[in-house]
Chain A
Amino acid sequence: MGTEGREPDETGSPPKGPADPANWGIAFDLGIRLGVSVILGLGLGLLVDSWLHTSPIFLLIGMVLGIAAAMYTIWDVASGSMRR
């Protein structure tokens, strides 16, 4: 994988670039997490609605939060990747 002999630098940062194997996991992860975030938001909204009988208020709130969480996930993964 081309990682042999490469040591972290003095700050503990790994080598950067597409050859960094950790980036493969991130690439596989990002697409699914976008969808999952929206579905989770919708699901939680549905649950709260069925519990409080307030349909569709929390469904809509959950949808907005889910979409926001998806966008937050992109930013989180990108900033975390740059930090590493």
Chain B
Amino acid sequence: MVHVEIAAERLFQLGPLIFTNSMLGALLASLLLLVAARFFAPGPALVPTRAQGIVELPIEWLAGIVRVTGGKRWREFVALVVVIFLFVLVANWLSLLPGIGTVGFYEEVGGKRVLVPFVRAAAADLNMTLGLAIVSFVSFIAFGIRANGLRGYLRETLVAEPAYMTPLLTPIHVISELSRLVSLSMRLFGNVFAGEVLLATMLSLTTAAIFTLPLAFFVPGIFLGLELLFGLVQALVFALLSMTYITLAIAEDRQHEPADNHHTGETPAPTTADPAHGAA
């Protein structure tokens, strides 16, 4: 029988800090990225080796997308977008390795013995995805403030045009802004958690009876392949949305005064004015 636990399970506790199996998954993904960075960053060869080429391929590909779609200031946030993409991608793909989510210890829960895996997919925990969404949310607010100044950003966010519409439009604008945070976190969590449940269910169904056992050799494999694709798509969507939000927040300064040319020394491009609010 498939046991589905929506919250990450506790492994141990150090004082007030509860260490969960999804935190271990996130830690492993981070360590893998750090080792790769340590191994390839100090002296990249002029003619890249095959391994270096494999590591650099997703970075160059995404950096190319950011360069083309991120506006003139793409260099300021390309590292953030690439890091978000790589972290979510590695965390998602790591959870598909054998032993992740299946090797653990048994615990009594409500009179039943349930398996508590040592490592759980990092993004199958809402705490992790919400944390990552908060990083993205704070980043695009910070870029918006940097581009428009604090007063300009607050005016964009809290004051409507015409001003007498402010009491009506400001709550609408605030709800719309908050929906970005919820949408970013819930989408990633929902997709990865559903994938985990789907894989467990397929494995459980195909191993339930002796005559379905041959199916266990290829049916879960099909879904593992799909999860590889979904892991890539979700990482890409999270990173691209973060980039889009930051690009829009930075682009706001083009609508008003040439506020921050001192940041880049570039002339802002003329754009169509936003009649009610400038979306940050």
Interface on A for B, CB 8 Å cutoff?
1, 3-4, 6-8, 11-15, 20-22, 24-26, 28-29, 32-33, 36-37, 39-41, 44, 65-66, 68-69, 72-73, 76, 79-80, 82-84
Rounded to whole angstroms, the CA-CA distance of A37 and B272 in the bound complex is: 26
Query: Contact at A1–B65, with CB atoms within 8 Å?
Result: yes
Chain A to chain B contacts (Cβ below 8 Å), 25 pairs: A1-B64, A3-B69, A4-B64, A12-B269, A14-B68, A20-B69, A24-B240, A25-B237, A28-B187, A29-B241, A29-B244, A32-B187, A36-B179, A36-B182, A36-B186, A39-B182, A40-B178, A65-B172, A69-B171, A69-B175, A83-B248, A83-B272, A84-B71, A84-B244, A84-B247
Chain A residues with CB under 8 Å of B65's CB are 1, 3, 21-22
Q: Please tell me which one of the listed residues B71, B173, B183, B240 contacts residue A36 in the complex, with CB atoms under 8 A apart.
A: B183
Query: Contact at A83–B271, with CB atoms within 8 Å?
Result: yes
Q: Please tell me which one of the listed residues A1, A24, A66 contacts residue B237 in the complex, with CB atoms under 8 A apart.
A: A24
- Which residue of the partner chain A has the closest CB to B279? A76
Query: Contact at B175–A44, with CB atoms within 8 Å?
Result: yes
- Which residue of the partner chain A has the closest CB to B239? A25
Chain A residues with CB under 8 Å of B146's CB are none
In the complex, the 9 A-B pairs of residues with the closest C-beta atoms, listed nearest first? A25-B240, A69-B175, A11-B269, A14-B69, A12-B72, A25-B241, A36-B179, A22-B69, A76-B279
- Which residue of the partner chain A has the closest CB to B72? A12
Q: A21-B65, A22-B244, A28-B241 are in contact. Are A83 and B179 (CB under 8 A)?
A: no
How many A-B pairs have beta carbons closer than 8 Å: the answer is 118
Taking chain B's interface residues, is the majority helix, strand, or loop, or is none over half, making it mixed? Answer: helix
Rounded to whole angstroms, the CA-CA distance of A40 and B182 in the bound complex is: 9
Query: Contact at B179–A73, with CB atoms within 8 Å?
Result: yes
Size of interface on B: residues with Cβ below 8 Å to A:
38
Rounded to whole angstroms, the CA-CA distance of A18 and B51 in the bound complex is: 33
Query: Contact at A65–B244, with CB atoms within 8 Å?
Result: no
Q: Please tell me which one of the listed residues A32, A36, A79 contacts residue B274 in the complex, with CB atoms under 8 A apart.
A: A79
Query: Contact at B64–A68, with CB atoms within 8 Å?
Result: no
Query: Contact at B61–A12, with CB atoms within 8 Å?
Result: no
Rounded to whole angstroms, the CA-CA distance of A40 and B179 in the bound complex is: 7
Chain A residues with CB under 8 Å of B61's CB are 1
How far in angstroms is the closest Cβ of chain B from A77? 8
- Which residue of the partner chain B has the closest CB to A10? B269
Chain B residues with CB under 8 Å of A14's CB are 68-71
Rounded to whole angstroms, the CA-CA distance of A24 and B186 in the bound complex is: 17
Chain B residues with CB under 8 Å of A41's CB are 175
How far in angstroms is the closest Cβ of chain A from B9? 27
Chain A residues with CB under 8 Å of B169's CB are 72
Rounded to whole angstroms, the CA-CA distance of A44 and B171 in the bound complex is: 11
Q: Please tell me which one of the listed residues B241, B269, B272 contacts residue A82 in the complex, with CB atoms under 8 A apart.
A: B272
Query: Contact at A72–B272, with CB atoms within 8 Å?
Result: no
Query: Contact at A84–B248, with CB atoms within 8 Å?
Result: yes
Chain B residues with CB under 8 Å of A26's CB are 241, 244
